[in-house]
Structure 1
Amino acid sequence: MPGQTLADVLRAKGLRLTAQRQLVLEAVLELGHATPEQIHEKVTCTAAGVNITTIYRTLELLEGLGLVAHTHLGHGAPTYHGAGDRGHVHLVCHRCGKVDEVSPDVFTDVRRKLSTERGFLVDIGHVALFGMCASCDEEES
């Protein structure tokens, strides 16, 4: 969506901009990686009447428009983030649940090896590594 507003993208598809759509997109972008429930909590701080069904429908619409993407970072609900954030590796802390990101370049050797030896092309956009973040590691030590 570089150079285009949400209203521009919606209008191009024959849709209209609503306050709920704007609030959901802003919440996703501000929160970084968030579940629909976390997005709902953020949106209801501004618009108390927005229900969770509206959040799910709006996320589906925004994903269809290529503005947000989801990934599964565990057994719970999907996590949404801005679509421009695709192409990174998620680092998920088992202890506190914090989600961080690193460049997919960390997998350069693995990708090359799998391509050469198995003819398999890795989709880095859907990689999550689970472990313990530095803060939790320090607390545990």
Structure 2
Amino acid sequence: MSDSDWRQALREKGYRLTPQRELILAAVDELGHATPDEVLARVQQQASTINASTVYRTLEVLEELGLVRHAHLSDRAPTYHSTRGHVHFHLVCRRCHKVVSVDAEEAAPFVESLATRHAFSPDLGHLTVFGECHDCEGKS
């Protein structure tokens, strides 16, 4: 979605385009995957008056508009990422906490099986698979 598209989406849903919303969306884009606290830290570098509740409310609005998504990559707060990139799911190593973004196409056989066998269509953008990466596998 281009900058003008998301600005138009905000206006069509009755939301004002505010500098805070622009800063928060830009922070999510720049950080790649970020918790609300990480987004807050980034935007406060440019606008120290933005507080945590503004960040949380804005992330909810941006998610409602389809501009960001969240996934649970740990037992901490949800992690947000922009939808402007490719649709992907996440692999998270339980040992080293490395996060790998995997293109949704790699899950095509799994998605097809779910559709055929269970009449179900998964939302891959929220999918997180926990396990161990090759570097950590078998380490005690």
Which TM-score band applies after superposition, normalised by the shorter structure? Answer: 0.7 to 0.9
C-alpha distance in 2 between matches for 1:82 and 1:111:
22
Q: What is the aligned partner in structure 2 of residue 71 from structure 1?
A: 71
Q: What SS class does the counterpart of residue 84 from structure 1 fall into?
A: coil
User: In structure 1, what residue type is equivalent to 2:29?
Assistant: L
Query: Residues 98-128 of structure 1, C-alpha deviation per residue, up to 9 Å, x if partnerless?
Result: 3221122322333333333344433322221
Alignment check: 8 A CA contact 1:6 1:22 kept: no
Structure 1 spans left out of the alignment, 5+ residues? none
Aligned residue runs from structure 1 range 20-99, under 5 A? 20-85=20-85, 87-99=87-99
User: In structure 1, what residue type is equivalent to 2:112?
Assistant: R
Q: What SS class does the counterpart of residue 116 from structure 2 fall into?
A: helix
C-alpha distance in 1 between matches for 2:43 and 2:3:
25
> Taking structure 1 as reference, are residues 61 and 118 closer, same or farther at Cα in structure 2, changes over 3 Å only?
closer
Q: What is the aligned partner in structure 2 of residue 107 from structure 1?
A: 107
Q: What SS class does the counterpart of residue 9 from structure 1 fall into?
A: helix
Between Structure 1 and Structure 2, the one with more helix by share is: 1
Query: Residues 45-72 of structure 1, C-alpha deviation per residue, up to 9 Å, x if partnerless?
Result: 1111211011001111111222111122
Query: Residues 57-93 of structure 1, C-alpha deviation per residue, up to 9 Å, x if partnerless?
Result: 1111111222111122232211111123463121113
> More displaced, 32-41 or 12-21?
12-21
User: In structure 2, what residue type is equivalent to 1:122?
Assistant: P
> Taking structure 1 as reference, are residues 109 and 66 closer, same or farther at Cα in structure 2, changes over 3 Å only?
closer
> Taking structure 1 as reference, are residues 65 and 111 closer, same or farther at Cα in structure 2, changes over 3 Å only?
closer
Q: Is the counterpart of residue 15 in structure 1 residue 7 in structure 2? A: no
C-alpha distance in 1 between matches for 2:6 and 2:112:
38
Q: Provide TM-score, normalisation by structure 1.
A: 0.80
Q: Provide TM-score, normalisation by structure 2.
A: 0.80
| Percent of residue pairs bearing the same amino acid type | 46
Alignment check: 8 A CA contact 1:35 1:77 kept: yes
Where relative contact order (Cα < 8 A, 6+ residues apart) is larger, the structure is 2
Structure 2 spans left out of the alignment, 5+ residues? none
